[in-house]
Amino acid sequence: MNRSMSSDREDDVPVDYHRRLRDSFELFSRVVAEQSAEIRARETGIIVEVQPGIATVVGLPNVRTDEVLRFGGNRRGFAFNLDAEEVGCVLLDKSDQLQAGTRVERTGTVLDTPVGEQLLGRVIDPIGRALDGKRPVSATERLPCERDATPIMRRAPVSVPLQTGLKVIDALIPIGRGQRQLVLGDRQTGKTSIAIDTIINQRGFDVICIYCSIGQRSTNVARVIASLKDNGAMDHSIVVVGADDAPPGVQFIAPYAATTMGEYFMEQGRDVLIVYDDLTSHARAYRHVSLLLRRPPGREAFPGDIFFVHSRLLERSTHLRDEEGGGSLTAMPIVETEAQNVSAYIPTNLISITDGQVYLSPQLFRKGMLPAVDVGRSVSRVGGKTQLPAYRAVAGDLRLTYSQYEELEKFARFSSQLDDDTRHTLERGRRVRETLKQRQYHPLDVPRQIASLVAVTTGAFDGLPSSQVTRAQRVVQEQVVEELPELCDRIVAGQTLSSSEIEAIGEVAARALADFSVDNQTPGSDLDAHA
């Protein structure tokens, strides 16, 4: 019986084996029949010259501009100069192991970057490589770094304010969503601080923020990231880093990649704020690769197309029409001046491209006026149309008082005898300046800002020493928010303040300061330094 069963199994196995073998051959035949034989040509070049950040390649006659190239393994770059006999390439990785004769392959793809929700809270480089020690970025979609600006017929006027949380900007130099507002000044005057405070203030406003670091030291970038984390702003932010020790090509493409990330959200109907810190370093990186690739230099050795390089970047910031989703991309580029020379090449270019500028004065910074915004040299050409009506009700008197004070301050030094009107203007102006001071990492909501501005314009602080204004306005802010909650809601909703409502705020401020005690606190002792 056992022999019989064994015999049956032996008889079954060959039958099953042959059937499976026949099915396999039939499958192979179908697959082969569906395939069409064709010859595919692959272009391969070689490096003939390597310099820091660039490489010269021959043997790629059909390569396209901005096409990604692979050098000797995993090292990458992109085609930048397309000459008749050779191709100038900008490297995206270190060039220390590249040499003449190294093989170069085309990839057939243009330079792109990851986009999507998974980037929120991450620190990455422009190519999408993680820099925060977390898992690699798993992007489901990638878009080209270089994209055409939104056509004008798809754009809408800038109509919604972007609140920075800084009194001096929201009241006197307002910014709208979709605007391009330049921040410029000498080094160490607080440019980055203004940008970071603006990002922190977007909590609860459903505004996605992108901080793009270009050529900044790693310690400075780490400090910015720590500030965002400590203030709960990292959840709605993306940090794109083109570090100072990265190849110039990485620094050059950083703002374009960051803008592509922002456009992805804008096209979904979201509001985005992007900070370029800073475009002076970006211009230097572009000058570096251009000179090595023997592009003709122009003014200050910058290539002649540096204006086009920055204009095609900033032109991508806009506000879309409602039919297109209504999203916006607000640009806050930062540029560094030298010795307060705002007429230098790069600053003047960017001033002409943007919709206004916030100028930070070293003199004000040394006086402890933080943020050190020079109101007289700052302007917002389109933001005034977006400003909440409550600001407009008080900003006119505030600007007039402050400008009069700045003019009289210059001449008062040369005269010891001043009339009562001049003395009153100077005293009121000093209190306006103290009111516009603000601690770093402490942006204010709109009702608290309005409370302080109304208090100083109605003279509530006139009887106080200038050193006590900062402490006194905090008392006024809390009292106004507590006693006038309905009015605060009306302010936030964008309703106009009547004269009686302004008087009501002034009365609350006067009552709040009735029992205010003057201490021996020194001026500015409660202010954090803006670095």
Residues facing 242 on adjacent strands: 214
Largest CA distance in the chain: 131
Please say if 20 is a catalytic residue. no
* CB atoms closer than 10 angstroms to residue 233: 21
In whole angstroms, what is the distance from residue 436 CA to residue 126 CA? 37
* C-alpha separations of 88 from 48, 85, 282 in Å: 10, 10, 19
The answer to whether the beta carbons of residues 418 and 412 sit under 8 Å apart is yes
Q: What angle do CA 145, 149, 154 make, to 5 degrees?
A: 135
The answer to whether the beta carbons of residues 513 and 476 sit under 8 Å apart is yes
In whole angstroms, what is the distance from residue 428 CA to residue 435 CA? 10
Rounded to the nearest angstrom, the gap between the alpha carbon of residue 352 and the centroid of all alpha carbons in its chain is 19
* CB atoms closer than 10 angstroms to residue 465: 14
Rounded to the nearest angstrom, the gap between the alpha carbon of residue 296 and the centroid of all alpha carbons in its chain is 30
The answer to whether the beta carbons of residues 494 and 174 sit under 8 Å apart is no
Of the residues 381, 399, 431, 490, only one is catalytic, namely: 381
Rounded to the nearest angstrom, the gap between the alpha carbon of residue 35 and the centroid of all alpha carbons in its chain is 50
3-state secondary structure of 373: strand
The answer to whether the beta carbons of residues 506 and 455 sit under 8 Å apart is yes
Tell me the Cα Rg of the chain: 31
The answer to whether the beta carbons of residues 170 and 176 sit under 8 Å apart is no
In whole angstroms, what is the distance from residue 279 CA to residue 336 CA? 8
In whole angstroms, what is the distance from residue 248 CA to residue 398 CA? 45
Rounded to the nearest angstrom, the gap between the alpha carbon of residue 25 and the centroid of all alpha carbons in its chain is 60
Q: What angle do CA 417, 418, 423 make, to 5 degrees?
A: 145
Q: Name the phi and psi angles at 38, rounded to 5.
A: -150, 155
In whole angstroms, what is the distance from residue 446 CA to residue 489 CA? 10
Residues whose CB falls within 8 Å of the CB of residue 305, separated by 6 or more in sequence, listed in order? none
3-state secondary structure of 368: coil
Residues facing 71 on adjacent strands: 75, 104
**Residue 65 in tokens:** 């501009």
In whole angstroms, what is the distance from residue 433 CA to residue 445 CA? 19
Sign of CA dihedral 463, 467, 468, 474: positive
The residues that are catalytic are 381
